[in-house]
Amino acid sequence: MPELPEVETVVRRLREGDGERGPSVVGKTIRRVTVKWPRHIARPPARLFQRQLRGQKIKSLTRRGKYLVFHLSRDVMLIHLKMSGDLSVVNGRAAPPAGKHAHTIFHLSGGAQLRFSDTRKFGKVFLVGKAEEVVGGLGPEPLEPGFTAKQLGQMLASRRRALKPLLLDQTFIAGLGNIYTDEALHLARLHPLRRSDTLKPAEVRALWQGIRRALRTGLRHDGASIDWVYRGGGFQNYFRVYDRAGQPCLNCGTPIRRIVVGQRGTYFCPKCQRQK
């Protein structure tokens, strides 16, 4: 599933435009919407969704957690890519035919199309009055200036949970997923099963720095491309532990181990990340 860096990369591409991949969607008016898979539309019902979107202008595009947030002239549209979603903009008549997995297509002014392709059909689209109706329960953004080591320490101390599942909880911190959690924990030298309320101040700060460093490195490389869903990123070439079971730790040379935590494959160095 795309995480914060991958979703942010998509947001920037759609917002800024790309000569090869299509124009910016900002400033475009939604003329009509083709919905081939009504379950893509989480709210409101698909037919009402189509009617309400018609004629609305895309004023700006941002991200909250793993959601793309389209600020429209009247409403707010949010898209969650889930496991296999992908958004692309194509230019009008010169565009190739939409593939069979392009289940929701936004027809924009100027002839452009914003296509939401989703092989596994888990992605969701919301049209609401305010973004908070969908993302109001998310935790803080880890790269925002207001997210401090002190705040993280207070949050960790108030929980009694293993670090890995807690960091994956979107109500705790928004945007982290399996890859960046494993990378951050390795940078902080913390075991994924370490209990959150046992961390010392220096360890809290190391985790705070690890989270931000992992995410910023991911952003610098346009995210990670590790399967057939999300392509274009290069962060997979810089993984420290994720998907490197049996390979040497970049710190000490000890083989990286893989365990299952909360039904998620988890990678760590047994020497650098000792369980206390």
39 given a catalytic annotation: no
Question: 2, 142, 165, 192: which is the annotated catalytic residue?
Answer: 2
Side chain identity at residue 5, one-letter code: P
Residue 264 annotated in active site: yes
Of 43, 121, 264, 271, which residue is the catalytic one? 264
Of 28, 63, 64, 66, catalytic:
66
First-to-final CA distance of the chain? 30
44 is catalytic: no
Annotated catalytic residue 20:
no
Instruction: Scan for tokens 């929980």, then name that residue.
Output: 159
Catalytic residue IDs:
2-3, 66, 264
